[in-house]
Copies of this chain bind each other. A is one copy, B any other.
Amino acid sequence: MCRWLAYTGSPVLLTEVLYTPVHSLIDQSLHSRLGAETTNGDGFGVGWYDATPVPGVFRSIEPAWNEPNLRELAGHISSRLFFAHVRAAIGSAVQQTNCHPFRYGRWLFMHNGFVDGFAAIKRDLVLTVDESLFPEIKGQADTEVLFYLALTFGLADDPPDAVARAIGFVEARGRARGVEFPFQGTIATTDGESVWAFRYSSEGNSRSLFFTRDIPVLRQQYPERELLREVSDDARLVVSEPIGDLPGAWVEMPEASYGVFGKGGERLLSFAPKPPPEAPR
């Protein structure tokens, strides 16, 4: 449905990650290999952290492959942690407020996949969003509602728990409406320090997700690659679909798992949604 990328490590110019590699994310907007859709031309977004407390977000409804402003910005913005997303819309309008990543305070959130039967359960979901957060929902995308559900369930305190509760809630509501497999996809979220990346689907057959091996290992394997020499040892890319031409560089995230990357050490753990404590109304 979409393709996304998350980077954490020493600061790099966005263009070195978004444009320079073979089969880059920008190429994937036009010709994805692993995506459910080969074209991801319904807008894009970039969110990045710098010295200011709140991340910057640049989103557009144009296809990424021919967008001069994205190319300009990628050549001039450096960041130690950024998200990028190219969108294939399913169901909701092509408009900036439906483009990922979504932002709330210091948090960014993006998704590749969908909430099945979203129209039928959207009302249940938005009613569960905390009243104080409700006015912050600007668009109509399932992902944005999922983000505000996760925020309602404590994303800022315990991201894996909040995402597990949000997806558990979506599954409960969906199944109550007769949807067999309510959730599908991969999610990335960050507070600007760590990146949490999830791979899960109700049907147990989730959209692909990959992350890079340790940079020191890659440097040995590909000593001629300049980018590998430049970035810090703890740099990581997490992607829907491998970029570049380094076959040994990628580890596939297992089905029903999540990873934590960035400051404070890395972990790869299993993931299971947490159903709501009580039966749905």
Contact = CB atoms under 8 A, between A and B. Distances in A.
The complex is assembled from copies of this chain, and their number is: 4
Given A41-B63, A61-B62, A123-B134, A93 B68 contact: yes
Contact of A95 (B57, B96, B126): B96
Interface string A18-51: 0000000000001100000011011000001010
Interface residues of A, number: 45
Interface stretch (A72-80, A106-114, A194-202, A249-257): A72-80
Interface stretch (A135-143, A157-165, A214-222, A233-241): A135-143
A93 B97 contact: yes
Given A60-B69, A62-B61, A96-B93, A41 B41 contact: yes
A279 interface: no
Interface in A98-151: 119-120, 122-123, 126-127, 131, 134-135, 137-140
B58 A69 contact: yes
Interface string A52-73: 1010111111110010110011
A66 to B, nearest CB: 5
Contacts of A17: none
A94 interface: yes
A41 B66 CA distance: 10
B135 A119 contact: yes
